[in-house]
Amino acid sequence: MPIITYRQALNDTLGEELARDPNVLLMGEEIGVFQGSYRITEGLLQEFGPKRVVDTPIAEEGFVGVAIGAAMLGLRPVVEIMTINFILVAIDQVVNHASKIHYMFGGQVRVPLVIRTPSGGTGQLAATHSQSFENWFAYCPGLKVVAPATPYDAKGLLRAAVRDDDPVIFIESLALYDTKGDVPDDDDYVVPIGVAEVKRRGEDVTVVAYSRMTAVALQVAQRLENEGISVEVVDLRSLRPLDRPTIIESVKKTGRAVVIAEDWYSYGVTAEIAATIQEQAFDYLDAPVLRVAGLEVPLPYAKELSAVSKPNANSLIYAIHQVLAGSSRGALWAK
Amino acid sequence: MVKVKEAAPSGLEHENVEDLKHYYYQMLLIRRFEERTSEMYVKAKIGGYCHLNLGEEATIVGLMAALKPEDYIFTNYREHGYIIARGVPPGPVMAELFGKETGVARGRGGSMHLFSREHNFMGGYAIVGGQVPLAVGAAYALRYQGKPGVVVAQMGDGTTNIGAFYESLNLAKLWRCPVLFFIVNNGYGMGTSVEMGSSEPDLWKKGASFRIHGERIDGTDVLAVRDAVRRLRERAESEGEPAILDVVSFRFRGHSVIDADRYRDPEAVRAGREHHDPVRNFAALLHDHEIVDDAWLKVTAERVEREVQEAIDFANASPDPRFEDLYENMYATPVPNTPGREDALQAVRINRGEW
């Protein structure tokens, strides 16, 4: 099986979907002439032309709304928002419109729309360019939110998203774009939306993660194996719908759980997962569920300060040791 | 009694008499539908917010008279009259206001979220400005697919102060979308007058920096509205030229049913109703031109009265949406790990105290 980057998986999939369905079009800032801020759309304008690969002005509310309206008439727009931070100026269109149109109008019209955007913070991008807002969208019934961690899942979920008849928020990560993995090149597989995957089998503790934190969790699991700790990694892949049965099944087996996500600790994704585990697997728990998440500051610019404000392998290993010891002292992020 | 003429007389000589009579019928239907809606609201048959089209009948009927079946309409939340004038029977509209399964949005939308895919009536939208980019997107799709037709983005005067409006103007012109920005300028966004809210109170000029043509139109004159829309619609469709229509009308009552309208001068409101009543003025015009007589007006009034009563009866007799269907249409296709009928019934039983 060929080994390609996460970026290449996305680029290949967009090209294949453009070729497959004439109603698919890409819209976004700098995706055409500039070749994409992060080169996800590189070469696609040359291959498919300006009707299918549409450079937009800097007007997120406007062009996201245009994409929703076009989807209501049967187009299948795939919108790139340069980073998730910029989606805030379009949030009315996503939350008040895209998520509600199908249900609120009695099922008469569909909104087959994908919004792709990288979330999270790396590379000293500072407070306004390093945020994680996928939980805001996962909160909204009517949206689907996916966040693949591997090139294989990136391809399979992007295919599923483009072919889906509902609005899908497709979460990427700058730090994952250059990561590599196996992706079959002769197979039209899709990864179903709303289904998690156990990425690594283990016995002692379950780590629940998604996107870049899944990559961190897999590295940590590998390291801890040498210490004799067997870690099971559940990769959510979808935040809405949330595959609660897969999480619960894993926790019932291991009896211990750590949840890790890049967003801020309070009211974040980790809170939802931890609450689900205590509701549905309370009798199986041998220790409190611990959460590892972002420290609650506008992410500072300074290199070291920035690095220590985000969860990483160190914080996850610490939390795993705490939960194995049956301690709740891991809950350092709560104050 | 005045004799009814076969052809329209001087001043209306190019008009089809049956069309004129139909405009009057539609305007009166909207008038009585809204008056009875207000009554049903007071009787608590209708909940939530409820905004009436009283005084705006000519604006609505003139617009719809100019549109073609292939055109699309996106409106704001003051839209009962629009969906009726587009051809949806009053019964399912009233049923929606009553929250019934037979309503145009199956009771899920309510007064502010009417919809009919069959009539290309693409929704009432209740977040000011939200419908404007959507309408541009629909026009974008028509152009992309090479289909005929135009899209109307209806909005109130207050909407011309929000960012989505300006982004929409820019994109519509930039991408040559066949869209008409149809501003119902009744002088007030809730209680804020146009002069208080807009540094440029001549709303038709607001497209200037986007190179979009604009016109001011008398919204109490059904024929003036129709003719302007026809002309600008043709241009939008054939040349991809969007346009702004600043349609000046008079709001008979407060912003919504529950608004006591304390911010307007009562004398001005009384005078407005006296002089700018589009329904009465059009009746007088048709009568003066001997197109209709007293008997026709009486029969038409009785017909409208009956049809609105039938709509109310239909709504009253219609079933409520079923609890088990609560999650239906959450998503367009089946999705794993989402709640279904059994989950709905279980949650509803608990929330109703039936455990």
Span A89-128, pLDDT tens digits:
999 999 999 999 999 999 999 999 999 999 998 889 999 9
All residues at 6 or more sequence positions from B43 whose CB lies less than 8 Å from its CB, including other chains: none
**How many Cβ atoms sit within 10 Å of the Cβ of residue A133?**
19
Quote the mean pLDDT of chain B.
95
Q: What span, in angstroms and rounded, lies between the C-alpha atoms of A286 and A272?
A: 20
Out of B113, B129, B335, closest to residue A105 by CB: B113
* Angstrom distance (rounded) from CA A241 to CA B331: 11
Query: How far is it, in rounded angstroms, from Cα B243 to Cα B179?
Result: 7
Q: A144 to chain B: which residues are within 8 Å by CB? A: 331, 335
Total Cβ atoms within 10 A of residue B70: 12
**Interface with chain B: mutation pick from A25, A103, A111, A280, highest number of B CBs within 10 Å:** A103
Contact B338 A194 (CB under 8 A): yes
Q: How far apart are CA A244 and CA B299, in angstroms?
A: 63
Q: What is the pLDDT of residue B9?
A: 53
pLDDT tens digits, residue range A281-315? 999 999 999 999 999 999 999 999 999 999 999 99
Range A175-200 average pLDDT: 95
Q: Is the dihedral of CA A143, A149, A151, A152 positive or negative?
A: negative
pTM above 0.90, yes or no: yes
Confidence of residue B259 (pLDDT cuts 50, 70, 90): confident
Q: Cα separation of B249 and B185, whole Å?
A: 6
DSSP 8-state class, residue A192: P
The CATH fold of domain A3-182: Rossmann fold (3.40.50)
Provide the pLDDT for residue A122.
Answer: 83
Residue A130 φ/ψ region, left for φ over 0, alpha for ψ in the -120 to 50 degree band, beta for the rest: alpha
Half-sphere exposure of B19 (CA within 13 A, CB side): 15
Closest-CA distance, A97 to chain B, in angstroms, reads 7
Task: For A108, name the nearest residue in chain B, comparing CA atoms only.
Answer: B117
Interatomic CA distance for residues A54 and A75, integer angstroms: 13
* A332 token code pair: 């350092």
ipTM: 0.96
End-to-end CA separation in angstroms for chain B: 69
| CA distances, B136 to each of A77, B130, B167 (Å) | 14, 11, 10
- Cα-based angle B209, A60, A167 (whole degrees, multiple of 5): 135
Contact assessment for residue B29 and residue B87, using Cβ atoms and an 8 Å cutoff:
no
Structure tokens at A180: 């590599």
User: Residues B32-87: pLDDT tens digits?
Assistant: 999 999 999 999 999 999 999 999 999 999 999 999 999 999 999 999 999 999 99
Return the pLDDT at A331. 59
Confidence of residue B7 (pLDDT cuts 50, 70, 90): low
CA–CA distances in Å: residue A215 to residues A99, A150, A212: 30, 8, 5
Q: Does the annotation mark A97 as catalytic?
A: no
**Closest among A167, A174, A170 to A147, alpha carbons compared:** A170
Cβ atoms of A279 and A248 closer than 8 Å: no
CB contact (8 A) between residue B133 and residue A68: yes
Amino acid at B110: G
Tokens 């587009």 sit at which residue?
Answer: B86
State yes or no: pLDDT of A136 exceeds 80: yes
Strand partners, A264: A294
Rounded (10°) CA dihedral B115, B116, B117, B121: -70
Cβ A66–B137 below 8 Å, yes or no? Answer: yes
Residue B24 pLDDT: 98
Residue B220 has pLDDT above 80, yes or no: yes
Has A47 been annotated as catalytic?
Answer: no
CB B256 within 8 A of CB B50: yes
Beta strands A180-182 and A3-5 are: antiparallel
A241 preceded by a cis bond (ω within 30 of 0)? yes
**What's the rounded Cα separation, in Å, for the pair A90 and A169?**
13
Helices (H), chain A: 6-20, 44-48, 60-72, 91, 101-104, 134-138, 151-163, 212-225, 244-254, 269-280, 303-308, 313-324
CA nearest to B216, candidates B59, B75, B82: B59
pLDDT band at A333 (very low <50, low <70, confident <90, very high): low
Options A17, A29, A60, A272, the catalytic residue = A60
Interior/surface letters A139-164, b for 16+ CB within 10 angstroms, e for the rest: bbebbbbbbbbbbbbbbbbbbbbbbb
- The answer on pLDDT for A244 being more than 90 is yes
* Residues of A in Cβ contact (< 8 Å) with B336: 192-195, 241, 243
What DSSP state is assigned to residue A287?
S
* CA B320-B325-B329 angle, 5° bins: 115
- Residue B294 is encoded by which pair of tokens? 């007293």
For residues A68 and B134, the answer to whether their CB atoms sit within 8 Å is: yes
d(CA A286, CA A21): 51
Domains, chain B, ordered by start = 17-321 (3.40.50.970)
How far, in Å, CA of B270 to CA of A312, rounded? 69
In percent, the amount of chain B with pLDDT more than 70 equals 97
Q: What is the mean pLDDT of residues A67-87?
A: 98
Residue B257: predicted pLDDT? 86
Q: Do A70 and B144 touch (CB under 8 A)?
A: yes
Q: Do A108 and B174 count as a contact with CB atoms less than 8 A apart?
A: no
User: Which residue in the list A16, A42, A61, A129 is annotated as catalytic?
Assistant: A129
Question: Other C-beta atoms within 10 Å of A275: how many?
Answer: 12
pLDDT of residue B150: 98
* CATH assignment, A197-324: 3.40.50.920
Does residue B10 carry a pLDDT above 80? no
Work out the pLDDT band at B4, boundaries 50, 70, 90.
very low
- Using the beta-carbon criterion (under 8 Å), do A63 and B171 form an inter-chain contact? yes
Using the structure block, give the residue that is written with the tokens 């999939």.
A13
Contact, A75 vs B144, CB < 8 A?
Answer: yes
What are the CA-CA distances from residue B46 to residues B35, B52, B94, B103 (Å)?
13, 13, 9, 13
CB B116 within 8 A of CB B339: no
Task: For chain A, give every domain's residue range.
Answer: 3-182, 197-324
pLDDT value of residue B2: 40
